[in-house]
Amino acid sequence: MNDMVLQGTPALVLDNVTKTYSQWQRNGKAKDIIKNLLKPEKRVVTALDKVSLTIGQGEFVAYAGANGAGKSTTIKILSGILTPTSGQVTVLGLSPLKDRIALMGRVGVLFGQRTELWWDHPVITSFQWKKDVWNIPEEVYERNLQMATELLDLSDILKTFARELSLGQRMRADIAMLLLHGPDLIFLDEPTLGLDVLAKQQMIGFLKRLNKEQGTTVVVTSHDMDDLEEMAQRVVLLNKGNIAFDGDFNALRDVMGGFYRILITTQPEMPPLSLLDMKLLKSENDVHEYEFDRTKLPIHEVLGNLSKFSQIRDVEIKKAPIEDVVANLYLSWKEK
C-alpha cells in the first residue's frame, strides 16, 4: 500500500488547528442550584491553540506533553474522530473528515488503553476479522501476518483468546493487527503504557525496525520520555495546546541549558568535592552526582579540574536524563 502515497506529500499537516471544549463549572453549593439550572457556568478549555505542524513521510515523531496538553485530542482529530474548531487538517493528502473511509484504509490507529481485539475470540480470529473489514488482499494479509508474527513473537498467542492475554501480549497483538493492512502512517497513543521492561524493549525495537525497513511514518504519544527518546528522531512537545518545542532530543536538552551529569566515585568516607560551576545533586555510598551546563563549562575543563583530585577512583559523564529535562520544562511552563 506504500505505493499509493504520492512522493512529496507530507504524511500529515496541521494548519492553524484550534480545538476548544466547553467544561462545566460548579461550586458544589446548594444555594447555586437555581443558577446552575438557569444559567450554568461554563469554561472554555482550549485543547489545541492554533497548532501548525508538518510531518514528512518516513519520520518517527514523538508527540509528548503533560496530562491534558492535547496529545490525544490531536490523534483523534487526525483520525477523523473529532473535528477541529478551526483550521485545516490533511493526512496523506486527504481530509480525515471528508475522506475518512479512504484514509482509514491507509493509516493505523491504536489507543493504548483500549484494544481492537475481539475479547471472546482467539487473536487469529480478530486478524481475520480485520482482513474482511479492511478488505485486505490475501497475499498482503499473509505477508504482513507472517512478518508481524515473526517480529513480534506472536506464534504462541495466535490461538489464545484475547481476554486471556497479559497486557504485554495484548499490546503486541494489537500492534500486529494494526499493521495487517500495511498502513503508510500509524498513530500510537501510549503504546508502552503498563508494559514490563522486556515487553517495552520488544515493542520499541519492532517499531524502529518498521520505520526503518518499511518506511512507515510513526507518530507516537507517551508520558515516558526515555521510551520516546529511544524510538523517535524528532520530538514535538505540547504545552497547554501550543507546540512548545519541535526538534531532536539533543536540541531539547540544549533548551534547558545543555545539562550533563557527572558521577564521581571517591575514596571511602570522603566528603563531596567542591567543584566550580557544578551543582551537587546527591551523594550516596561514596558516589557523588553533579550537574553542569556543557555550554558554560566544556568537558575538557571539567576533566582538567577533576585531574587535580587524587582521591577520585572513577568518573562517569552522561547526558541529563530526558525525563528530568522535560520535568524541568513542564515545571518552568507551569510557573509562567
Partner 1 sequence: MVDNLKTVLRLYRRYAVMDLLWLLRDTRYFIIQILSDGISAGCTVAGVYLLSLNFDHFAGMGRNEILFMMGYALFVEGIFNFFFIGNNAGFISRVVGRGQLDHIMIQPVPLWAELLTQGFCPFSGSPLLLMGAGLALYGAFKVGIVMHGTWLLLCMFYGICSCLLIMAFLYIISSMAFYAPAAAEEISMVGKDMFSSLKTYPLGNMNPVVKRVFITILPIGLSAWFPSLRLLEAGVNSMASLKLLPALYLPAATAVFSLLALFLFRKGMKHYERYGSPRYSGFGFR
The contact set with partner 1 (CB under 8 A) reads 21-24, 45, 73, 76, 79-83, 97, 100-105, 109, 111, 114, 116, 118, 120-121, 125, 128-129, 132-135
Q: Which of 133, 213, 199, 211 is nearest to 165 (CA)?
A: 199
Residue 34 Cβ vs partner 1, minimum distance, rounded to whole Å: 17
What do you get for the CA distance between the two ends of the chain, in Å? Answer: 46
Report which residue type is found at 55.
I
Choose between 108 and 258: whose C-beta lies nearer to partner 1: 108
Choose between 123 and 264: whose C-beta lies nearer to partner 1: 123
Choose between 4 and 281: whose C-beta lies nearer to partner 1: 4
The vertex-295 CA angle with 237 and 233, nearest 5°, equals 35
Could you tell me where the DSSP H helices lie in the chain? 33-38, 71-78, 100-104, 123-133, 138-151, 167-179, 197-209, 225-231, 249-255, 299-306, 322-335
Choose between 45 and 270: whose C-beta lies nearer to partner 1: 45
Residue 41 Cβ vs partner 1, minimum distance, rounded to whole Å: 11
Element of type H or E holding 220: strand 217-221
Task: Say how far apart CA 90 and CA 334 lie, in whole Å.
Answer: 32
Choose between 36 and 242: whose C-beta lies nearer to partner 1: 36
Residue 76 Cβ vs partner 1, minimum distance, rounded to whole Å: 6
Q: Which of 237, 260, 258 is nearest to 247 (CA)?
A: 237
Q: Within a 10 A sphere around the Cβ of 282, how many other Cβ atoms?
A: 10
Choose between 132 and 156: whose C-beta lies nearer to partner 1: 132
Residue 100 Cβ vs partner 1, minimum distance, rounded to whole Å: 7
- Cell digits for 150? 515473526
Choose between 159 and 209: whose C-beta lies nearer to partner 1: 159
Task: Say how far apart CA 22 and CA 328 lie, in whole Å.
Answer: 30
- Cell digits for 102? 479512504
Residue 146 Cβ vs partner 1, minimum distance, rounded to whole Å: 21
| Helical pair 197-209 and 167-179, crossing angle rounded to 10 deg | 10
Residue 22 Cβ vs partner 1, minimum distance, rounded to whole Å: 8
Residue 104 Cβ vs partner 1, minimum distance, rounded to whole Å: 4
Choose between 25 and 250: whose C-beta lies nearer to partner 1: 25
Residue 161 Cβ vs partner 1, minimum distance, rounded to whole Å: 8
Choose between 111 and 290: whose C-beta lies nearer to partner 1: 111
Long-range contacts of 63-66 (CB under 8 A, 24+ apart): 63/219, 63/220, 63/221, 63/236, 63/238, 64/221, 64/222, 64/223, 64/225, 64/228, 64/235, 64/236, 64/237, 64/238, 64/326, 65/237, 65/238, 65/239, 65/244, 66/239, 66/330
Question: Which of the 8 DSSP states describes residue 210?
Answer: I
Residue 99 Cβ vs partner 1, minimum distance, rounded to whole Å: 10
